[in-house]
Amino acid sequence: MRGIYTPVTQIRRQVFAEVAKLAYEGGDYSRVEEIPYKIIPGEIATYRDSVFQERAVVGERIRLAIGLPLYPADQPTYISKGVEESAIAEKVYDPPLINVIPFACNACEETSMMVTDNCRGCLAHPCTAVCPVQAVSIVNGKSYIDKSKCIKCGRCKDACPYNAIVKYERPCAAACGVKAIESDHLGRAKINYDKCVSCGQCMVSCPFGAIADKSQIFQLIHAIKNGHKVIAEVAPAFVGQFGPMASPEKIKAALKELGFAEVFEVAIGADLGAIEEAHHYVHKVASGEEPFLATSCCPSWSVMAKRDFPDIAPYVSDALTPMVATARLIRKDNPDAKIVFIGPCAAKKLEASRRSVRSEVDFVITYEELMGMFVAKGIELADIETDEKFEDATAAGRGYSVAGGAADAIANCVDELYPNVQIKVDRAEGLAECAKMLKIAQAGKRNGYLMEGMACPGGCIGGAGTLLAQNKASVAVKKFQAESGDKMATKSKYHVPEE
């Protein structure tokens, strides 16, 4: 639903803006209790059964946006509980990252086959003929599916000449490539955290806005207010996310207006990673020492690959992700600064919380959360005048944000640095497709390959924290690449050639 402004989008963005205002204004944080009444005014419900339920849902979203946990619906609590203690310049994080607000969930039926009004009660009724378990019959002249027998194979759907049978899926479950969406005792969605890799696709696919992740904007704003040197590193999918009038230069200037001391492109780290993985491919894979190389830039894909395919885990690249590689470069000259990753990805919040990364990346926020900060400060991107430019990275690194971009950058490095080596590439987007690619590799059918996996459809431009429709985002990124002075990752000013 990215790129479509719905009531769910409106409420989500209002929450981020109000939480950002709360942090900027400071003072008595008990007034957080008033925010649901500001977002949901009046007495008449607009979206749900009652205005009280609407405000309760908003209240839970506010708590998550401050980084606080949900509370069980059967226990008394206040939105403000824990807010004062969370008003610090350090990250506040208690797992889980992705949360289902139970009383916001519509308890959608799980996957099933359904007969619609398109059924004409035809003479042939092929639906009954193809069903392997005799779950389809004719009742009162129309097809009827006995759900207690149905195995959801879809043969009846495929056989119907009127397209009268449809496969009904929970949107959140359909979007989850690792089958982490289950049901609680009341039929509401529940996340199995042993399976979840925090890609956030369930969150942006729920039409009821019942799933949300925790944010760090409250603490980030306090870090800026408290006088810390805070440096932003911006992921390459940012182009176009804030509207057609918000050029990359204006976004950079707007970030400085928010109080960021400096702004860097995460594409710097992508350039360096492409070069490192090109060397790895040639020295390890093309030589036959390792069967294949899987990219490491997407944390959800990487976690799934290592967890669900342990025999493949050694062949997932150990190159630093662009986020971490860029942060370490920044840290060399700014040892005491706080570094903020601004990107499209919910899973980066977990990556930055890992012990090996924590000292480099202090906060992670999404483009949507950043928009809340702009709104809270009254910054109009279209009105900004600036001569500053983004000149950190090459077209190759900037292309990492689109599916296939990482593989292209690595392959081009191989072609340039090792012209006698031929590279084979496979890639997948969406975790279900990534799993299929890994099963093929597991069977020995991808030996000699570079494999790129992206958890989100379309790549990072389809991430859970984006604002723009994928097709428009892809066009914007490619335009930004075309305008880049240097095209190849090897031309990065941060690259030190091997002796």
What is the pLDDT confidence band of residue 391, given thresholds at 50, 70 and 90? confident
Residue 498: the pLDDT is: 65
Instruction: Report in angstroms the alpha-carbon separations of 366 from 16, 233, 341, 350, 435.
Output: 11, 12, 8, 13, 26
Residue 230: the pLDDT is: 98
Q: How far apart are CA 296 and CA 99, in angstroms?
A: 26
Q: Is 45 exposed, middle or buried (0-12, 13-18, 19+ CB in 10 A)?
A: middle
Average of per-residue pLDDT across 300-312: 96
pLDDT tens track for 403-446: 999 999 999 999 999 999 999 999 999 999 999 999 999 999 99
Residue 56 has pLDDT above 60, yes or no: yes
Q: For the chain, what are the domain ranges? A: 7-105+177-219, 112-168, 228-491
DSSP 69: P
pLDDT tens track for 177-210: 999 999 999 999 999 999 999 999 999 999 999 9
Residue 499 has pLDDT above 60, yes or no: no
The helix/strand/coil state of 426 is strand
Residue 45: the pLDDT is: 95
Helix (H) or strand (E) holding 452: strand 449-454
The class that CATH gives domain 112-168 is: alpha beta
What percent of the chain is modeled with pLDDT above 70? 99
